[in-house]
Amino acid sequence: SQTIHQWPATLVQPVGSPLSLECTVEGTSNPNLYWYRQAAGRGLQLLFYSVGIGQISSEVPQNLSASRPQDRQFILSSKKLLLSDSGFYLCAWSAQGLDQPQHFGDGTRLSIL
């Protein structure tokens, strides 16, 4: 069966420090991969999505970047974190096909001090 792993679960970082959140998927190949941010009590904002290795699309201009170095690995990064980067980050994958739901990781709670 397919599983998605996202880490770390919680992260506290100072302003100006770098960031690296990692997400890996097991049990499937060529998944669509997504990074979302969720502000407290709010909906999901799509940050990045990827349909293949090295293929990244950005939804909103921001201080973050994403990379997909391997088929089932998706990384969210920043060179210098801002206070506004605080939030709950969710990684998700889906199979190809219109009927395929998204499957989410457990999320990372990022606090910027």
Partner 1 sequence: AQTVTQSQPEMSVQEAETVTLSCTYDTSESDYYLFWYKQPPSRQMILVIRQEAYKQQNATENRFSVNFQKAAKSFSLKISDSQLGDAAMYFCAYRALFTSGTYKYIFGTGTRLKVLA
Instruction: Give the binding site for partner 1 (CB under 8 A).
Output: 32, 34, 38, 41-44, 46, 49, 51, 57, 88, 90, 92, 94, 96-104, 106-107
Burial of 16 (0-12, 13-18, 19+ CB in 10 A): exposed
CA atoms within 13 A on the CB side of 110: 31
What is the C-alpha separation between 94 and 9, in angstroms, rounded?
A: 21
Compute the least distance from the CB of residue 22 to partner 1, in Å.
Answer: 18
Minimal distance in Å, beta carbon 19 to partner 1? 19
14 vs 41, beta carbon nearer partner 1: 41
Compute CA 53 distance to the chain's CA centroid, rounded to the nearest angstrom. 15
**Cβ-based nearer residue to partner 1, 41 or 69:** 41
Least separation in angstroms between CB 76 and partner 1: 17
